[in-house]
Structure 1
Amino acid sequence: MMTEKKRFANYILIGIVLIVSILTFTTNPMTISHKINEIVYMVIIVFLLIVVFRKDTKLIKIKEAEQRLTTLINSMVDFVNFKDGDGRWIEANEFGLKLFQLEGVDYRGKKDSELAEYTSFYNEALIYCEVSDEEAWKNGKTTRCEERLPMPDGTFRVFDTIKVPLYYENGMRKGLVVIGRDITEKQITEEKLRRTEKLSVVGELAASVGHEIRNPLTSLKGFVQMFRTDTKDERQKYYYDIMLDELERINHIVGELLILAKPQKISISEHSVNTIVKDVMSLLETQANMNNVALNYEENENHFIECSDNLLKQLFINVIKNAIEASTPNGEVSVTVKRHSPEEICISVIDNGVGFSEDFLTRIGEPFYSSKEKGTGLGLTVSMKIVEQHGGSMNFRSEKEVGTTVDIILPITHPFLSNHA
C-alpha cells in the first residue's frame, strides 16, 4: 500500500504541474491584476490539494481500520454479526456465514427472514433470530441466552449468545451486536464431570456397604432355599420363589455397585466384535422370544478391535436387553456393526419401542435413574463406564412411541495400556 509520504509527494507533483500549466498557457499581458489572479489560482489549487489529501488520508485510514476489524472478526471462532436498527445485516464474519450456510450470499442490507430464503435447512432458525432480537430490543440492555442450533449431520450445537442493543441519543434504535460462542464441548465436559462425581459418590457408597450387604444376603438366600426344599406346601413354595427372586435382584444390584466401586483390571487383546455381538444375541434369544420380540443382526465384514471381550459382552447384554424390554409385542430389535471411520467402528442397537423423552435422554446413564418400574439405572451407568474404559462413546437418539437408537462407537486400536485399571 502507498505510504503517506509518497501520496503527499504525488499531490505536490500534481500541484506543480497545474501551476506550471497555468503559467504556460497564460497569453494575456502580465499585468498586476493578472499576476494577482495567478497567485489566487495557485493558492486555491494548493488549498484544494491539501483538502483532498486530508480527505484521502482519512478515507484510507478508515479503510485500513475496517480491514483490521474484518480480519479480527474473521479470525474469531465465535459467530459475530452487526445489524442496523431495523435488523438488517451490516457485517458478519466467515464463521457465521458458514454456520448458517450463507457463504457467497450478498447478505448486507437483508433481514434474517430475507436471508432465510437462501438456506432451507436454517430457514426456521433465521426467522427465530428476529424474534430473539426483538426480545433484546425490548429488554433495552445486554441480553444473554443459550440457543440450540441443529447441524446437518443430525446433532445440535449449543451457543452462548450475547446481544447488545445500541441506541441514538434520542432513544431510536441504532444497531445490534450479536456474538455467539459454541459451548457444546464445554457442556459435554461439565456433564462428564458431574457424572464422574456421581459415580464417585456411588462408588464410595458401594465400597462401604456392598460387601456388608452381600455377606448376610448369601446366608438369607441359603436358608430360603433350604426352607423351600423342606416344605411340601405349594403355596409356601410360591412365596419362597418370590423371596429368592427378590434376593437375586438385590444380589445383582450389589454386583453392579461393586463394579462401579472398584477399578476393574481388564486384559486387552484383539477380538471380533461381530462374534461377540452374535454370542450375546444367542444368549438373549430366549428372552426376546418370551417378550415376542424379533432379533435381527445385519451381517457384513468382520471387524476386529483391541478390547476386553468379557466387558464388551456385558455392555452388549445391557444395551440389547434394554432394547428388548422397551419393545412392544411383535416388536423388533436390530443390531448392526459397521465402520464409523477409518479408526472406529459403530455398533447400533435399534428398537421400535416406546422411546424416551428429551428430558430423560439428558439424564440417561445416571445411577438410580431409570424408566423401568424396578430399574436402578445402574446397567447403563456400568455400560457407559465400559465404553469409557475402551476410549469410546455412546450416543442416544429417541422419539416417543417411535423407538430408540443407541450408537456405541469404539476405537479399533485401544487408546490405553493393556491390563490397566
Structure 2
Amino acid sequence: MRKRIRKHLSSLAPGLAANTYDLLSDHNRISALILEERSYTLSLLETFILALAEYIETGDRQRVVQQSREIALFRSKQGIALACILERVRVCRDSLLEQIRRDTHRLIFTEEERLGLYQIQMDLFQFVDTLIDVFIQTYEEDEEQRKQLEMQANSLTKEDFSQVAEQELVQLVLQSTDIAVLIIDRNLRIIEANYSFAELQQVERAQIIGKNIDETFRPRENERFVQWVIERGQSGHYVADTNGTLTTVSTSPIYHQGELWGAISVLRNITDSKRYEDELTKREALAAVGQLAAGMAHEIRNPLTSIKGFIQLLKEQTENAQNSSYFSVILTEIERIDGLLNDVLVLARYRDDKISAERFLLMDEVLGVIRLLEPESNRRGIRLELDWSGDEWYIYGFRARIKQAVLNILKNAMEALVMKGSTVRISVYASINQVVLTVEDDGPGLEEKVLKNLFIPFYTKKPDGTGLGLSTTQRIILDHGGEIFAENSSRLGGARFEVRLPISN
C-alpha cells in the first residue's frame, strides 16, 4: 500500500506544487522575492513533495532531513524569511494530506489498509513537525555563523578573507546534491567525501572517512582514476558505471606549499543526459523511417484501390458461388492491408486533411467502444466492468483517433484472457487537470521483457499480430498531449494500462 501511495502522489507532485504555490500567492503569504522566481520555487515545492512521498514508502527520515537542511541553508543564505519557508512546508503537508483523503478510495482496498492509511497520515503530520524544527535549527545556526563572520570581518586581512571565502566555497561544494566529491591524501586515505558521493557508492559517509580507498571500494584495476593521480601523476576525465549509474569522473592533484598533498575526484550523474541523447537519436531515426513509411503507404494504397475496385467488379459479374467466396477472401485481405497502412500512417504522424480536431466528450467514445465490444465479450464469457462517477470531461483532438486508441487497449485486454481470466475493468476519473483512463484485467499479466518492448513498433508475442496496435496507440496519446503507462495490476493480477489526457476547459 505504501508503494501504491508513493507512486500516486509522485504522479501528482507537479500539480500539487502548483496548487501550493497558487494558494500561498492568493493569500499574500509568500514574499515578493519568491514570487519573482516562480519556476525555481515550484521546483523546490515539487522536490519537497516527492521527498515526503518517498518517506511514506521507505520510512527513511535521514534522507529527507538532510535534504531539508540543504534547502533551509540555501534559502537562508538567499535572505528568505523563515516564516515564509515554514508556511510553505505546512501548506505542502496540508495539500498532501488532503490529496490522500480525497483519493482514499483509490489507495486502499481493505479495512486493514484503511487503518494503515490513518497511521500513515498521522506519521506524516508528525514528521513534518520534526522537519519544521530542522528548518528552524538550520536558520538559527546559519544566523549565528553569519554573526560570527561579521564580527571577524573587521579584523580580517585580505589574505585571511580569501581563506575564509575558499573555505565557504569548499563547504558549498561538499554540500552539493548535484555533484559527488572525493578527496584522498598521498597515502590513498579518504580525507573527505560529501553525502552525494556516499549515496552514489551506497555507503555511509562516516564509515569511509579515514579508510584506504582501495580497501574500502576495491575498484577494478582499469577504474582507479583518482589513485592514478597519486601513483602516476595522471589526472583526467573519464566515464564510468558506478553501481548502475552512468557518471563522468574528473580527477586533479592537490598541492600544498609546492608538494603533492593528495587528489580530488568529482563525479556527476549523466544517466538522464545519456538517456535523453539515446531517446533523441531513437526519435530522429523513427522520424526518418516514419517519413519513408508514409510515402510507401501512399504508393501502396494507389494500386490497392484499383485492385479492390476490379475485384468488386468481377465479383458482381461472376455467378459462380465458389469464385464469389474467393473474391470475398481477397477483399477481406485487402481491407486488412488497408488497416495496416492506416496504422503506419498514424505512426508516421500523417495528418489527413479530411479529419479535423474538435472538442468532444471522452466518455462518448469510451462508452461507444464498450458497446461495440459487448457482444464479443458476452460470447466469450468476459465481464466488462465500468467504474465511472458519471462526470463528463471534454478533451480536444481527433475523436476517431482517440476511439481507436481506446479500442486497441480494450481489445488487447480481452485477447490476453484466452488462457486465463474473465474480467476487464475500466476506470475513468479526473486528476487535477487530466482525465485518467485505466484498463485492468485478471489475465496472466506482462513479463518483464514484454514491458520493456511493449510500445516498440512491430514487437509482438501474438502469432498473427503485427506489433503496431500499442505503438499506434502510444503515438495517438502522445499527439494529444497525453501519457500512457503499462504495468501489472496489483488489484486484479493481470495487465494494467493507464492513459492520461489533458482536460479541455
Bucket of the pairwise TM-score, normalised by the shorter protein: 0.5 to 0.7
Paired residues of 1:367 and 1:377 also in contact (CA < 8 A)? yes
Paired residues of 1:350 and 1:403 also in contact (CA < 8 A)? yes
2:455 aligned to which of 361, 365, 368 = 365
Paired residues of 2:208 and 2:216 also in contact (CA < 8 A)? no
Give the drift of 1:247.
3.4
* Aligned mates of 1:322, 1:193 — CA distance in 2: 29
Distance 1:161 1:226, change over 3 A: farther
**Range with bigger deviation, 67-76 or 375-384:** 67-76
1:91 aligned to which of 188, 194, 201 = 194
2:352 aligned to which of 251, 261, 264 = 264
Paired residues of 1:393 and 1:409 also in contact (CA < 8 A)? yes
* Aligned mates of 1:411, 1:74 — CA distance in 2: 39
Give the drift of 1:67.
1.6
1:198 aligned to which of 280, 289, 298 = 289
Paired residues of 1:143 and 1:162 also in contact (CA < 8 A)? yes
* Aligned mates of 2:494, 2:446 — CA distance in 1: 8
Give the drift of 1:216.
1.1
- Which residue does 2:425 correspond to in 1? 334
Alignment pair present for 1:144 and 2:239? yes
Paired residues of 1:363 and 1:369 also in contact (CA < 8 A)? yes
Give the drift of 1:316.
0.7
1:215 aligned to which of 306, 316, 339 = 306
Secondary structure of the structure 1 residue equivalent to 2:461: coil
- Which residue does 1:36 correspond to in 2? none
* Aligned mates of 1:403, 1:148 — CA distance in 2: 32
Give the drift of 1:243.
4.5
1:22-66, Cα deviation, whole Å (9 max, x unpaired): xxxxxxxxxxxxxxxxxxxxxxxxxxxxxxx99xx56x6444213
* Aligned mates of 1:269, 1:107 — CA distance in 2: 56
* Aligned mates of 2:361, 2:333 — CA distance in 1: 36
* Aligned mates of 1:261, 1:219 — CA distance in 2: 31
TM-score relative to the length of structure 2: 0.52
**Bigger strand share:** 1
Could you tell me the percent identity over the aligned residues?
Answer: 18
Paired residues of 1:163 and 1:177 also in contact (CA < 8 A)? yes
Secondary structure of the structure 1 residue equivalent to 2:427: strand
- Which residue does 2:207 correspond to in 1? 110
TM-score relative to the length of structure 1: 0.61
**RMSD of aligned alpha carbons:** 4.5
Distance 1:133 1:3, change over 3 A: same
* Aligned mates of 2:358, 2:411 — CA distance in 1: 26
* Aligned mates of 1:221, 1:83 — CA distance in 2: 80
2:498 aligned to which of 378, 388, 407 = 407
- Which residue does 1:12 correspond to in 2? none
Number of residues of Structure 1 aligned to a counterpart in Structure 2:
326
1:174-185 aligned within 5 A: 177-181=266-270, 182-183=272-273, 184-185=275-276
- Which residue does 2:247 correspond to in 1? 161
Higher relative contact order (CA 8 A, sep 6+): 1
Read off the aligned partner of 1:139 and give its amino acid letter.
E
Alignment pair present for 1:279 and 2:368? yes
Give the drift of 1:280.
0.6
Paired residues of 1:272 and 1:302 also in contact (CA < 8 A)? no
1:309-336, Cα deviation, whole Å (9 max, x unpaired): 2221111111211221123343322211
Paired residues of 1:346 and 1:408 also in contact (CA < 8 A)? yes
**Range with bigger deviation, 187-196 or 405-414:** 187-196
1:13-412 aligned within 5 A: 61-71=162-172, 78-82=178-182, 90-92=193-195, 108-111=205-208, 134-135=218-219, 138-141=222-225, 144-145=239-240, 160-163=246-249, 177-181=266-270, 182-183=272-273, 184-220=275-311, 223=314, 230-231=320-321, 242-259=329-346, 260=348, 262-265=350-353, 266-307=355-396, 308-329=398-419, 330-340=421-431, 342-398=432-488, 403-412=494-503
Distance 1:132 1:110, change over 3 A: closer
Read off the aligned partner of 1:375 and give its amino acid letter.
G
Quick check: which has more Rg, 1 or 2?
A: 1
Identify unmatched segments of 5+ residues in structure 1. 9-52, 113-129, 150-158, 415-421
Paired residues of 2:175 and 2:194 also in contact (CA < 8 A)? no
Distance 1:69 1:190, change over 3 A: farther
Read off the aligned partner of 2:497 and give its amino acid letter.
V
1:294-313, Cα deviation, whole Å (9 max, x unpaired): 22211125131232322211
Paired residues of 1:353 and 1:403 also in contact (CA < 8 A)? yes
Secondary structure of the structure 1 residue equivalent to 2:455: coil
**Bigger helix share:** 2
Secondary structure of the structure 2 residue equivalent to 1:110: helix
1:347-374, Cα deviation, whole Å (9 max, x unpaired): 1122333444444444443443333222
Distance 1:193 1:65, change over 3 A: same
Read off the aligned partner of 2:399 and give its amino acid letter.
D
